[in-house]
Amino acid sequence: AAKHFEEEFGAKPIPLDIKEMQYAFGMWSAKFREIGAPPLKTGLCYGKESINLWLELLKSFFRCSDHTFPLIFFSLLKPMDDKMYHKCLEMYNALHKKFEDIFEEDAVVLFPTHPEPPPHYLMTIPKFANVAYTPIFNILGYPVTAIPAGLSNGLPIGIQAISGQFKDHLTIATAQELDKVFGGWFNPSPVKV
């Protein structure tokens, strides 16, 4: 994608090494705590007052739960302690400052939607930090446009175009251009519905 913009428009890509991104999941979780968002398990109750997560976990082993194993597992996790919470908020502020500096000009950052092709749904547990590749930019407050980038081993992969606040037009224009390169969205399934 970056090579296309360099060849087609002379836009020189600048590789970014943003170490804080490895803590995106922690920063995302800390920001949820900061705004007082309800715990993850609240969404599993469907209007009931409570849910027995251990029973749901057992039921999930036999595919009898209404919820996926990863969602139940993550609902059982202990919230982060105060020390980690404050560290994650500090990293968030540092990350926000880095992106503010990048977006002073009309820059667009290209970033994968996920660090690898979609894993089997149970593999999200050992690789839970990977799910934060997209929401980190939402909590930072930047416009993001997701762009289909083809298939890898028959599974869809994508790129995110991110820019500064109120620069949605840049991410959308980037997506329109890359749709021409990658062919846009198509159904990865051989089954035609």
Does residue 31 sit within a domain?
yes
**Amino acid 131: pLDDT:** 80
In whole angstroms, what separates CA 60 from the centre of its chain?
A: 25
**Amino acid 114: pLDDT:** 87
Give me the CATH number covering residue 136: 3.90.1300.10
Does residue 142 sit within a domain?
yes
Residue 41 has pLDDT above 90, yes or no: no
Does residue 156 sit within a domain?
yes
Lowest mean pLDDT among 14-18, 159-163, 164-168, 170-174: 14-18
Does residue 191 sit within a domain?
no
Does residue 188 sit within a domain?
no
**Amino acid 43: pLDDT:** 79
CA pair distance 128, 170, nearest whole angstrom: 30
How many domains does the chain divide into? Answer: 1
- Cβ burial of 112 (10 Å; 0-12, 13-18, 19+) is middle
Q: Provide Rg for the chain, Cα atoms.
A: 19
The string of pLDDT tens digits covering residues 12-23 is: 999 999 999 999
Phi, psi values for residue 77, rounded to 5°: -65, 145
Does residue 189 sit within a domain?
no
Determine the structural domain holding residue 145 and report its residue range. Answer: 1-182
Does residue 92 sit within a domain?
yes
Of 122 and 19, more confident: 19
The string of pLDDT tens digits covering residues 62-109 is: 989 998 888 888 888 888 999 999 999 999 999 999 999 999 989 999
Does residue 130 sit within a domain?
yes
